[in-house]
A and B are shown apart, each in its own frame.
Chain A
Amino acid sequence: MIDLIRAEFLKLSSTRTALGLFIAAVIVSVGPALLVMSLLPRDLLDGEGGAAAAAATGLTVVPMLAVVFGILGMTNEYRHGTITYTYLATPRRGLVIVIKLVCYALVGAVIMAVTALLVVAAIAAVAALRGIHPSWLEASAISDLETLRSIGLFLLTVGLMTAFGVGLGALFRAQIPTVAGILIWALAIEGIITVIKPKIGMYLPFVAFQQLTMGGALHVGEDGGLPSLTRPEAFLVAIAYIAVFSVAAVFISMRRDVT
């Protein structure tokens, strides 16, 4: 099993897919952070509740990139035909898929963590240059238990989403239709369903992933806000999706002909 894990990491390090994801994640998150911090007036960015926190919103795109990364990780095997050699070396296909799910989850989470650090570093650097002191950048705020828990949950979610992408890739195999389909589903269809049928929408996979990181920010309020799940509920829903797709991916991969 250790050999398989090392082989999976070698696959990742010997191509540019993981590097590409990392570069894309940095561009979409660090770029906006630098722009916001550089261009917005100081008084908007300074102090408690300052807009400096908004500079980090680019990070919310990274989980979606992680899903695409997971899809590519599996569909590339079919696209380039390397799945033949993968299964020749390890005929226990279930094990191959499980190892891939775990490795990609780890890599997705690590890329998220490094990207987040770069974003914070970029914000802090510009803030220092401009003499801004956002309260959330203070050491006490960052080391706060609740903040650490949120960061951990965010990384876990990104890991789960990457694994979700691997499961999708194993099920659908065709790279471009799967990537296009999942982007349309996540960015458009789920949104429409959530607006039309909010009580159904909150159980949809990407809404659940989002709620997991946001911690049920959209409560059913007396003023008629959108219904949402609590973090534990969102976690269970997210895990259920991962489990169903992973088991289906393993089950189908074991029975599918590799022609």
Chain B
Amino acid sequence: MGDEVAGYARALLGAVPVDDEAVALAEIAAADPGGNHLGSKMTRAHHRDFWQPSPIDHNTHDRWLRHDGRTLLERVRARLQELLAEGPAFALDAASAATVDRLAGIRTSWSSGRLAAETRPGAIMPVIEVEDLSKRFGRKVLAVDDVSFSVAAGTITGFLGPNGAGKTTIMRMLVDLVRPTSGRVTVLDGRYRDLTHPTTRVGALLDASGFHPGRSGRNALRVVARAAGIGYNRVDSALEMVELSGAAGRAVKGYSTGMKQRLALACALLGDPEVLLLDEPANGLDPEGMKWLRGFLRAQAAEGRTVLISSHVLAEIEQTVDHVLIISKGKLLARGPISQLAAGAAAVVRVRSPQAQKLEGLLLQKGAGVNRLDTALAIRGPSSAEVGELAHANDIVLHELLAEQPSLEDLFLQIAGTRRES
């Protein structure tokens, strides 16, 4: 696919100077990490910056993204919009068309091997919009409390929070299974129930155990496909996609948790939807299953799908998502690209020293947060340079000094902790 995207980019950006073209190719390939082509030059961090440029304009960022005062994304998007406004012009494969959707911020239609602009160009269109959403169960339980966010087309957004935070309730409100007490939910410009053939637009994994135990995996999908007006050929494709073809004829009651999870994923993919809502898809998966899921999600994103994925195990999706929404006790605590949130969060400095106790005392005097376990310290607040200088000034021997970027879990704990204190 990388070659096709690159070829397309060459044709598309023929009028753009060569150096820009090279950059554009890399960007387009980076938007397709699964392509493993020109994007090999780009790190995942670059990929993230591409979609949501970091406030820090370091050299690499400038070199790749900025030219004539505009980011490359802005320039490529403008050019794509110009060309698409002129009418159907390009022969692309569906995956490349999806990449163009992402780059141009234009909803396009794909049929008969040709791409056509359906709506007018604009900024990247949010495919999910949630405004002032609240849900109360009975009088006592406020499951969701005035939550607002949007999810941009073509992104993988992690919806993070502990069990009972309100993630599932929000997911179910997105697809009209649960009625909001107040607020508004929009999926692809309207309510889910108003979409024509909704499962071909939005695929949802909400309940991996939601299959009749006596029905075979294939029949479970066929029932949904039939009701949704989807051909049986998609059932076999979806089963293949989740590597469940071999067990498709067996009754679901004989499936392991991981297999049920895959079957639920296949169900979400039945209609080849542009938006995927995945509620705790890693539940019950073994390490091999988790690895498979990460690859699966990356492949979905590479095809240009928008993915909203919830999880309470933060580490499991840290390597997969572009943006995060952090929720706790029904309230949205933070949202944004991981890189941006991480930049605003305190890094952890890890130190090992035979004089750890002495160093701990000095750090506490300076107001740092310190956790000590024997000779090891985890320090929040000062930078690694400040810790090193403090140790040197006090003749403290260090065996290890390491500045560690906070993990998603650290981020969540910091954000949740800050909110509790305030």
Contact status A81-B214, CB under 8 Å: no
Interfacial chain B residues near A85, Cβ < 8 Å: 210-211, 223-224, 267
Contacts A80-B210, A84-B177, A258-B177: A15 and B227 contacting too (C-beta < 8 A)? no
Which residues of A80-118 have CB atoms within 8 Å of chain B's CB atoms?
80-92
Whether A140 sits at the interface, judged by CB under 8 Å, is: no
Which of B193, B199, B211 is A82 in contact with, Cβ under 8 Å? B211
Known: A6-B226, A10-B222. A88 touches B212 (CB 8 A): no
Is A91 a contact partner of B192 (Cβ separation < 8 A)? yes
Is B178 an interface residue when CB atoms closer than 8 A count as contact? yes
Give A259 Cβ to nearest chain B Cβ, in Å: 6
The answer on a CB contact under 8 Å between B212 and A76 is: yes
CA A258 to CA B227, docked complex, whole Å: 18
Nearest-neighbour CB distance to chain B for A242, whole angstroms, equals 24
Q: Are A10 and B223 neighbours in the complex by a CB distance under 8 Å?
A: yes
Cβ contacts under 8 Å, B210 to chain A: 80-85
Min distance, Cβ B393 to any Cβ of chain A, angstroms: 59
Contact flags A193-229 to B (C-beta < 8 A → 1, else 0): 0000000000000000000000000000000000000
CB of B335 within 8 Å of the partner chain:
no
Contact A3 B214 (CB under 8 A): no
CA distance A183 to B262 in the complex (A): 40
- Given the interface contacts A80-B213, A82-B212, A91-B193, does A259 sit within 8 Å of B223 by beta carbon? no
Q: Is the CB of A88 within 8 A of B199?
A: yes
In whole angstroms, how far apart are the Cα atoms of A14 and B179 in the complex? 31
**Contacts A10-B223, A81-B209 given; does A90 touch B177 at CB 8 Å:** no
Interface of A, helix, strand, loop or mixed by DSSP: helix
Instruction: Please name all residues of chain B whose beta carbon is closer than 8 Å to the beta carbon of A86 when the two chains form the complex.
Output: 227
A4 to B228, CA, bound (A): 8
Assuming the contacts A84-B177, A85-B267, asked whether A15 and B199 have C-beta atoms less than 8 A apart, the reply is: no
A3 touches B215 (CB 8 A): no
Among residues 102 to 159 in chain B, which have CB atoms less than 8 Å away from a CB atom of chain A?
137
Number of A-B contacts (CB under 8 A): 88
Number of interface residues of B (CB under 8 A): 34
- Is B409 in the interface zone, CB < 8 Å from A? no
Contact A258 B198, CB 8 Å, known A85-B210, A85-B224: no
- By a CB distance below 8 angstroms, the chain B residues around A11 are 212, 223
Q: Decide if B328 is an interface residue (CB 8 Å cutoff).
A: no
**CA distance in complex: A171, B192 (Å):** 24
User: Could you tell me if A14 and B216 are in contact, using CB atoms closer than 8 angstroms?
Assistant: yes
Q: Which residue of B lies closest to A90 (CB)?
A: B227
A176 interface contact, C-beta 8 A: no
B93 at the interface (CB under 8 A from A): no
- CB–CB A7/B223 < 8 A: yes
B226's partner among A7, A87, A259 (CB-CB below 8 A) is: A7
Is B66 part of the contact surface with A, judged by Cβ < 8 Å? no
When the two chains form their complex, are residues B219 and A257 in contact, meaning their CB atoms are under 8 A apart? no
Q: Does the CB pair A258–B213 fall under 8 Å? A: no
A85→B169 CA distance, assembly (Å): 16
Do B219 and A14 touch across chains, with their CB atoms under 8 A apart? yes
Cβ–Cβ contact A259 & B172, under 8 A: yes
Please tell me if the beta carbons of A88 and B211 are within 8 angstroms of each other in the complex.
no
Q: Is the pair B227, A7 in contact by a Cβ cutoff of 8 Å?
A: yes
B189 CB → nearest A CB, Å: 16
- Using A84-B206, A92-B193, A257-B137 as known contacts, list a sample of 12 further A-B pairs with CB atoms less than 8 Å apart, ordered by residue number in A: A7-B227, A10-B219, A11-B223, A76-B212, A80-B210, A84-B207, A85-B210, A85-B267, A87-B177, A89-B198, A257-B172, A259-B172
10 A-B residue pairings within 8 Å (CB atoms): A7-B227, A10-B219, A10-B223, A14-B215, A14-B216, A81-B210, A84-B177, A89-B199, A89-B224, A90-B227
